[in-house]
Amino acid sequence: MAGTVIGEGLSIDGELTSDEEVVVHGTLRGTVTAGDVVSVGTEGTVEADINAASLSVAGRVTGNVTASERVDIQAGGRLIGDVKAARLTIADGASFKGNVDMDA
């Protein structure tokens, strides 16, 4: 029950801020600011700039991402946008379009 779970049927339009883990199986548009992990499930769609400790993408993300720790794009995951993170992994079978800044 811990954290925030955006279920498959849920759609949020707006700003989301959180200090706990945010799991997205549904749809989120706007901005996301999270102090912990943001993970986008295979059915999840995020159209938002994301600022988080780390991001894991198995679904679709469109937006610029800033992570203080890492960004992982899983197989089947799709990220369109610029990534600013110390670590970035793009799995075999993932797709990514954007610029990467790993200077952080």
Residues found near other proteins in the complex (CB under 8 A):
1-22, 25-26, 29-30, 35, 41, 43
Residue closer to other proteins (CB basis): 10 or 104 = 10
Residue closer to other proteins (CB basis): 59 or 90 = 59
The Cα-based distances of 91 to 1, 35, 64, 97 in angstroms read 29, 24, 19, 14
Residue closer to other proteins (CB basis): 32 or 88 = 32
Residue closer to other proteins (CB basis): 20 or 101 = 20
Residue 62 CB, nearest approach to other proteins (Å): 12
Partners of 72 in the β-ladder: 56, 89
Residue 90 CB, nearest approach to other proteins (Å): 25
Residue 49 CB, nearest approach to other proteins (Å): 12
Alpha-carbon torsion (75, 46, 55, 103), positive or negative: positive
CB 88 within 8 A of CB 70: yes
Burial category of 4 from C-beta neighbours within 10 Å (exposed 0-12, middle 13-18, buried 19 and up): middle
